[in-house]
Amino acid sequence: MKLLKELFLEELADMYDAERRVVKALPKMAKAATCDKLKSALLAHLKETEGHVLKLEQVFASFDEKARGTTCKVTVGLLEEGDELAGDFKGSPAINAALISAAQKVEHHEMAAYGCLHEWAGLLGNEAAAVLLEEILGEEKAANETLIKLALASSNKEALGESDEKESEEVPGKSPDNLRRGMRPTGSSRARIGSLSR
Q: Give tens-digit pLDDT for 130-172.
A: 999 999 999 999 999 999 999 999 999 999 986 443 333 333 3
- Round the average pLDDT of the chain to a whole number and report it: 87
Checking if the pLDDT of 63 tops 70, the result is yes
CATH at residue 110: 1.20.1260.10
pLDDT recorded at residue 188: 37
Question: What pLDDT does 1 receive?
Answer: 86
User: What pLDDT score does 156 carry?
Assistant: 95
179: DSSP letter: G
Number of H helices, E strands in the chain: 7, 0
pLDDT tens figures, 111-130: 999 999 999 999 999 999 99
Residue 61 lies in a domain: yes
Instruction: Give which of 123, 115, 112, 109 is closest to 5, Cα–Cα.
Output: 123
- Using the predicted structure, report yes or no on whether residue 51 has a pLDDT greater than 70: yes
Residue 140 belongs to some domain of the structure: yes
Give the count of domains, the chain: 1
Range of the domain at 154: 4-160
pLDDT of residue 194 exceeding 80, the answer is no
